[in-house]
Amino acid sequence: MRMVAPLYSGQNTPPKIPSTWLDMDALDHNIQLVNQKTQPTNLRLATKSMRSIDVLRYIQARSPNFIGLMSYAADESVYLLKK
């Protein structure tokens, strides 16, 4: 199992600021399943469910039917467009 905390790799304990530990093997597996089950369908990622821009980009790069993001609010859309 590959566990990643992109900003804090190499540390044994999480930092005291908000952070996320992510099982990259499970994420890759889930991306493959979604890609297999939705081959002819265009997909948008819901940003409300995934609050990490790095992870959104990671998923986007591995999703051939990705067409955009579905954001929670207009100001979030503007912020994401600038990233």
DSSP string, the chain: --EE-GGGTT-SS--SSS---EEHHHHHHHHHHHHHHTTTS-EEEETTT---HHHHHHHHHT-TTEEEEE-SSHHHHHHHHH-
What value does the mean pLDDT take over residues 52-62?
Answer: 91
Cα angle 50-33-5, degrees, rounded to a multiple of 5: 40
Amino acid at 15: P
- Full-model pTM: 0.74
Strand partners, 22: 4
Higher pLDDT, 81 or 29: 29
Query: Percentage of the chain with pLDDT > 90?
Result: 40
Q: With bands split at pLDDT 50, 70 and 90, how would you rate the model's confidence at 8?
A: very low
Query: Percentage of the chain with pLDDT > 70?
Result: 78
